[in-house]
Amino acid sequence: MKLGSLIAGLSALALTACASTGDEPRPRTNAAMTADGHAPYASTYERYPGRPTALVGATVYDGRGGQIENGTVLFRDGEIVQIGDASLSTDGYDRIDGTGKFVTPGVIDIHSHLGDYPTPSVDAHADGNEATSPMTPEVWAEHSVWPQDPGFTRALANGGITALQILPGSANLTGGRSVTLKNVSARTVQGMKFPGAPYGMKMACGENPKRVYGGRGRMPSTRMGNFAVNRQMWLDAQAYDGEKRDLGKETLKGVLDGEILIHNHCYRADEMALVMDMAKEMGYKVTAFHHAVEAYKIGDLLRENDVCSAIWADWYGFKMEAYDGILENAAFLREAGACVIIHSDDANGIQRLNQEAAKAQAAGRRVGIDVPDAEVVGWFTYNAAKAMGIAEMTGSLEPGKMADVVLWNGDPLSVYTRPEKVWIDGALMYDALDRKRRPVSDFELGQPGEGDVK
Amino acid sequence: MSRPANNKRLTPLGALGVFCGLAGAAIGYQANAQDFTIENATVAMGDGSEPMEGATVIVRGGKIVSVGTGAASTGGERIDGTGMWVTPGLVASVTSLGLWDVGAVSESNDTAARESPFSAALDAAPIVNPNSQHILVHRAAGITRAATVTMPSASIFGGQGAIIDLGADANPVTRSRAFQIVTLGEIGARLSGGSRASAHVLFRNALREATKLGEDSRIPGMSSRPPEQGLGDDVPIDPRLAGEDNERAGDVLLSRFDAAALVPVVRGEQPLYVMVERASDIRSVLALKREFADLDLVLVGASEGWLVAQDIAAAGVPVIADGLDDLPQNFEELAATQSNIGRMVKAGVKVAINASAMENPRNLNQYAGNLVALSRIPGADGLTWGQAFATITSVPAEISGLTGRAGTLGTGASGDVVMWDGDPLEVGSMPVRVFIDGIEQPLDNHQSRLKERYRDLDESDLPKGYDW
């Protein structure tokens, strides 16, 4: 059995067991399932064939702060076997010379709308915001994802993206469930779903929800309205007994049970502090604040509450709550001991998360905060995996983990560097040196530039 | 002109008076220009050449005197450039710098006039705010000149853009009414009623009305291209707005002001920036020269430009191209690729990177760096370092009408000089000193002040509100 399907099977088994034993104090109503007890819309992804591969001679960043010069990375059967120095035996492996090159874990974007806001960006494709109610915990992003979004291919080839979380948009206070994908070309979204990844739920504070709904003369039209609607939603969810299935409440219950992770779009520091208190009041945890342009003002609070900040390097000014964005956000958070993730929220930015991280690192260096390169790589690999609940499986180069690996043609923190090869579960899915080893979306077949380097 | 208040490097005001009388070729306000020499730096000229190491840059009277490896210091401040890079200031085109504070705060945002009765007549020059935080932030990022313009929204014509400098003074405008901007393609189709066909008819009608009005009203030649501004509050009144009120035919579509604003366009006295993406749309734009022979065209966007690069080159039309767009964002950009600029340059097209096609214009150098990275990818077309740097310096300066005077360190160019802490195309490099017209610029702004306040979170004595 392939690794992917094994994990998917175990996951479904676990959910079945929970539902049938009745040991839990609360009904496990979040676990929507098929009549035969399986998770619905389950992942059908199975890893593609790969060769036992030894990357030798490169600088290796393991994603968790480790760095090995002239390192060796061994993977086979979809898994990392070992990483170490040049003394590791490569017998039985295809050797790839990485001299002068760099190896990192596959890049992970915790905030993407590929598939639910795909290109071409026509109205017919605008599937990311169910902006008909401020609370839509019942919607699932995977039901919007178009697997033929050409953006997935660019993220792979130019960004080295191997996994990503697709979120609903931020029009609603509660936008619905996210889905975590392997960045593999597939005919169905099930064929991309990351086996065993937990669900997330998107929430949003601040300007967007109050603008969208206030503009229609309905609640919320203010920040205090935002909180009132949210708090009542949680109270109602707490009272849900699961007798009659309710899609939205199932998701909210999953959050209250700690099985669904909260990804909260929030810009302002004071608002994030209020949200963290709301989470305490209602009995859930915020896993990460997304965008979080003012996170640097409350690095201490974020550390104490163990909440990650998923941020851009330099976006600012496009709306009032983004006015105080500064380049040093990541460095100040890190200085405060809080968790930093570099995210994109953008079909172009996802192609350059490594460069965005490098900009944030350099801003820190200018104010005397020297973050080692190996740690900065973690901002777009391991830390993202951790906040997506998949760090046991990917996000770092450790034995037994998925062989999601990027070979860069230079220092990944340099503008002059591009991915040369990208493996997903040990299968070579992109090779800059092989014109045919890159996916082309159905949409682009027969169009000008089909198969171009893009 | 307000001098940077706390900069001890500036020479005393009195010593600089000699430069005030320099002839009118000077760009901007010269009163406080200082003499300085930067020695032993890595210097990039901006003209497409590769950087040279151990070079000296001499600036006197607000202008570049010389750049070379053997030049000796000739007075003024001596600046050690060891480990630094020195370049001309970056030139950002097209932007909306100085026209907005917060994008989503409509009261602060003058970038589009959707409800206005006017379009082509709109003029960015009088509304540029040199105190805008975006000007301060981008100055600190090494951008010293920019094209800024209101974007098409009420009509296919967006109005007349200005060339500005980003200096810390009251006079941002280098040249007012420097160009007109029009959008064709998908957006033009929508603005003109729902079809490209309508956009083309509207465009032709507008130029014909302008031709007629120009003749009937005897609007003088070169009326749109006032001399570059010199000292202070002398942005001239557009003479077309004060002209005689000649009677016009009853079926005109354009207001008199809009028609008058297009007179210099049809005469080729004012460049026309045409926003267009699709290959076939680009061909149609190039073909306009057959009907309106004098048009001075510049393409903006041109995501599919590489498909018609030979035609663009043959027409001698420069392009302000989206640097890294590689997605079929819509049906007019199906062939978008990061190799677009490399392929057009290879075909002989003059190409600048479009500053409006990125999150912030301060990412211009990152975009240029990415085009260098492409040169190492088989099948892709990138640029050399020198070519890439030219796409954000000398080429946009030339398109802006500042050939030899901005975006270059050539002798006689304005003293727009940036000292960087590293390779300016590398992510993370930032300016350490910025000069505009030889005047050292302050680099502080709202962001730098926030950075200083929140460098630590210590409130043991007083709240953060007292930390300033």
**Mean pLDDT throughout A434-454?**
96
The verdict on a CB contact (< 8 Å) between B327 and A151 is: yes
Confidence at residue B220, expressed as pLDDT on a 0 to 100 scale? 72
pLDDT of B250 > 70? The answer is: yes
DSSP sequence for B47-78 = SSPPPEEEEEEEEETTEEEEEESSPPP-SSEE
Architecture of domain B1-88+407-468: Roll (2.30)
Cis peptide before B94 (omega within 30 of 0): yes
Confidence at residue B314, expressed as pLDDT on a 0 to 100 scale? 98
Distance CA A432, CA A434 (A): 6
The verdict on a CB contact (< 8 Å) between A432 and B377 is: yes
Q: Please count the helices (runs of H) and the strands (runs of E) in chain B.
A: 11, 16
Which sequence spans correspond to the domains of chain B?
A: 1-88+407-468, 90-268, 271-351+376-402
Confidence at residue A14, expressed as pLDDT on a 0 to 100 scale? 39
Q: Which of B338, B359, B427 sits opposite A415 (nearest CB)?
A: B427
Residues of B in contact with A324 (CB under 8 A): 446, 450
Asked if B335 reaches chain A (Cβ–Cβ under 8 Å), the answer is yes
Architecture of domain B271-351+376-402: Alpha-Beta Barrel (3.20)
Confidence at residue A148, expressed as pLDDT on a 0 to 100 scale? 98
The verdict on a CB contact (< 8 Å) between A447 and B328 is: yes
Residue B228: band (very low, low, confident or very high) from pLDDT cuts 50, 70, 90: low
Structure tokens at A423: 């493996």
CA distances from B179 to A412, B114, B175, B227, B399 (A): 40, 20, 10, 14, 10
Tens-place pLDDT, residues A195-254: 999 999 999 999 999 999 999 999 999 999 999 999 999 999 999 999 999 999 999 999
Confidence at residue B183, expressed as pLDDT on a 0 to 100 scale? 98
pLDDT of B186 > 70? The answer is: yes
Q: Could you count the other beta carbons within 10 Å of the beta carbon of residue B456? A: 12
CA distance B368 to chain A (A): 9
CA distance A358 to chain B (A): 6
Confidence at residue A6, expressed as pLDDT on a 0 to 100 scale? 37
CA distances from B199 to A68, A289, B111, B190, B283 (A): 59, 44, 21, 8, 15
Calculate the average pLDDT of chain B: 90
Tens-place pLDDT, residues A360-418: 999 999 999 999 999 999 999 999 999 999 999 999 999 999 999 999 999 999 999 99
CATH homologous superfamily of domain A106-398? Answer: Metal-dependent hydrolases (3.20.20.140)
Tens-place pLDDT, residues B277-300: 999 999 999 999 999 999 999 999
Q: Could you count the other beta carbons within 10 Å of the beta carbon of residue B323? A: 26
Structure tokens at B279: 């290959």
**Nearest chain B residue to A119, by CA:** B329
Distance CA A76, CA A399 (A): 11
Q: Which of A299, A323, A348 sits opposite B102 (nearest CB)?
A: A323
Distance CA B213, CA B246 (A): 8
Cis peptide before A120 (omega within 30 of 0): yes
Cβ within 8 Å of A, B 49-78: none
The verdict on a CB contact (< 8 Å) between B328 and A417 is: no
Residues forming beta bridges with residue B37, ordered by sequence position: B58, B78
pLDDT of B74 > 80? The answer is: no
Structure tokens at A436: 């045919």
Tens-place pLDDT, residues A99-152: 999 999 999 999 999 999 999 999 999 999 999 999 999 999 999 999 999 999
Confidence at residue B216, expressed as pLDDT on a 0 to 100 scale? 85
The verdict on a CB contact (< 8 Å) between A316 and B363 is: no
Q: Which of A121, A326, A453 sits opposite B330 (nearest CB)?
A: A121
Segment among A419-423, A438-442, B238-242, B406-410 with least mean pLDDT: B238-242
Confidence at residue B31, expressed as pLDDT on a 0 to 100 scale? 54
Q: Which of A150, A297, A327 sits opposite B454 (nearest CB)?
A: A297
Which sequence spans correspond to the domains of chain A?
A: 106-398
The verdict on a CB contact (< 8 Å) between B454 and A332 is: yes
Confidence at residue A37, expressed as pLDDT on a 0 to 100 scale? 78
Alpha helices in A167-316 (DSSP H): 207-214, 223-238, 247-256, 269-282, 299-304
SS3 assignment, position B206: helix
The verdict on a CB contact (< 8 Å) between B327 and A348 is: yes
Confidence at residue A1, expressed as pLDDT on a 0 to 100 scale? 35
Cβ within 8 Å of A, B 182-241: none
Residues of A in contact with B330 (CB under 8 A): 119-122
Residue B382: band (very low, low, confident or very high) from pLDDT cuts 50, 70, 90: very high
Most distant CA pair in chain B, distance: 75
Give the up-direction half-sphere exposure of residue A312: CA atoms within 13 A in the CB hemisphere.
Answer: 22
Cis peptide before A419 (omega within 30 of 0): no
**Nearest chain B residue to A454, by CA:** B337
The verdict on a CB contact (< 8 Å) between B359 and A349 is: yes
Residue B218: band (very low, low, confident or very high) from pLDDT cuts 50, 70, 90: confident
Structure tokens at A249: 């409440």
Segment among B20-24, B42-46, B172-176, B451-455 with least mean pLDDT: B20-24
CA distance B102 to chain A (A): 5
CA distance A420 to chain B (A): 8
The verdict on a CB contact (< 8 Å) between A452 and B425 is: no
The verdict on a CB contact (< 8 Å) between A348 and B362 is: no
Contact B339, B378 (CB under 8 A): no
Residue B111: band (very low, low, confident or very high) from pLDDT cuts 50, 70, 90: very high
**Nearest chain B residue to A416, by CA:** B373
Confidence at residue A36, expressed as pLDDT on a 0 to 100 scale? 80
Confidence at residue A33, expressed as pLDDT on a 0 to 100 scale? 75
Contact A422, A430 (CB under 8 A): yes
Contact B332, B278 (CB under 8 A): yes
CA distance A442 to chain B (A): 13
What is the ipTM, given to two decimal places? 0.92
Tens-place pLDDT, residues B120-135: 999 999 999 999 999 9
Mutation for testing the B interface, residue in A316, A409, A415 having most B CBs under 10 Å: A415
Confidence at residue B240, expressed as pLDDT on a 0 to 100 scale? 65
CB–CB contacts below 8 A, A to B: 162
Asked if B332 reaches chain A (Cβ–Cβ under 8 Å), the answer is no
Name the pTM for this structure.
0.92
The verdict on a CB contact (< 8 Å) between B370 and A415 is: yes
Calculate the average pLDDT of chain A: 94
- Report the amino acid identity of residue A3: L
CA distance A192 to chain B (A): 21
Residues of B in contact with A365 (CB under 8 A): 428
Confidence at residue A8, expressed as pLDDT on a 0 to 100 scale? 39
Segment among A235-249, B6-20, B355-369 with least mean pLDDT: B6-20
CA distance B438 to chain A (A): 25
SS3 assignment, position A226: helix
Which helix (H) or strand (E) segment is A287 a member of?
A: strand A286-291
Q: Which of B326, B330, B450 sits opposite A120 (nearest CB)?
A: B330
Residue with tokens 């006295």: B269
Cβ within 8 Å of A, B 269-298: 279
**Mean pLDDT throughout B180-189?**
97
Residues of B in contact with A452 (CB under 8 A): 335, 337, 339, 379
Q: Could you count the other beta carbons within 10 Å of the beta carbon of residue A320? A: 17
Confidence at residue A425, expressed as pLDDT on a 0 to 100 scale? 98
Q: Which of A120, A327, A361 sits opposite B331 (nearest CB)?
A: A120
Asked if B426 reaches chain A (Cβ–Cβ under 8 Å), the answer is yes
Distance CA B120, CA B162 (A): 13
**Nearest chain B residue to A349, by CA:** B359
CA distance B364 to chain A (A): 12
pLDDT of A262 > 50? The answer is: yes
